[in-house]
Structure 1
Amino acid sequence: MKVLTQPTPPMAAIVLVALLSLLVSIQKGDAHDLKIGSSGDWSIASAPYTTWAERARFSIGDTILFNYDGSKDSLLLVSQADYNNCNTASPIEKHNDGHTVITLERSGPHYFISGVPENCKKNEKVTIVVMADRSQKATSESPFVASSNFMIFFCLVGVFACFFI
């Protein structure tokens, strides 16, 4: 009759830590940290930003850095109508700290303009279009298909059971 031995606790701990690290890296997603216009400089001199924004692919969770002189300029998130007319009177958000980091939290277009109307009219503005979140499977698929997080959880429970019970 063979006697089965269990792995030593340090080996089990290493495997568990490795699996937890994998889980955390999967949860991080594909978010990117970007600088406006590639340089991060939000100014008339760096405008227009249209070509940069059209070439980039933006996803939910991405962050965009805007650097500018906060005593002379600002960054406004505005409606499409205010973007088209360079209207600075009623922004959705106003930033004037000179080092603004915007996190893109929803899909669709985001309209940014300079808080100085003359700067906006000289193309210190940008439309950033965020792609739809495609990370979740449609619920119309088979109800028996488990999500990847659910499967990872059961794998971790299985590893725990193998090494510690």
Structure 2
Amino acid sequence: MASFSARQGNGNALRLAVLLLCVMFIVDHAAAKVVPVGGSSGWLLGNKFSKLSIKAKDQLLFKYPAEAHNVVQVSSADYKSCNAKGQTKRSGYDQIALGPGTYYFICGVSDHCKKGMKVAVTVSK
């Protein structure tokens, strides 16, 4: 009978460990957020952009009129020179998940980047 109680105790410990892992997973994912670039106004000319810091579980949201702007992910050098030779996104509602590192985004339309429509994003773990 003693061995039955020991096995039952081990089963309870395993169930408790699984429950704790589930709670930790839920809390970690609940803390993730969507970060709108440009705040509630969105990715528009005249907004103040420069640097953003987010966590790896967060997502960037670029909201903009697709007929007037775009989002191009570029290298650091292209960010500085406003060279829009990267991949273009044009939906007007681009939600982007990124891993740890530094990323650069510009608007590739006309001279929008030179007018300040660019953002450097640092993603931490």
TM bucket by the smaller chain?
0.7 to 0.9
2:108 to 105, 115, 140: 115
2:98 to 91, 104, 110: 104
Partner of 1:44: 45
**Superposed, which structure 2 residues align to 1:34-113 within 5 Å?**
34-39=35-40, 41-46=42-47, 48-50=48-50, 53=51, 57-88=53-84, 90-91=85-86, 93-107=87-101, 109-113=102-106
TM normalised by structure 2 equals: 0.75
SS in 2 for 1:118: coil
Gaps of 5+ in 2: 9-15
The structure richer in strand per residue is: 2
Verify the 8 A CA contact 1:40 1:65 in the aligned structure 2: no
Query: Identity across aligned pairs (percent)?
Result: 29
Give the aligned length. Answer: 121
Cα offset for 1:102? 1.1
TM normalised by structure 1 equals: 0.59
SS in 2 for 1:112: strand
Gaps of 5+ in 1: 7-14, 134-165
Cα offset for 1:96? 0.4
Partner of 2:11: none
Cα offset for 1:38? 2.0
Separation in 2, partners of 1:83, 1:57: 17
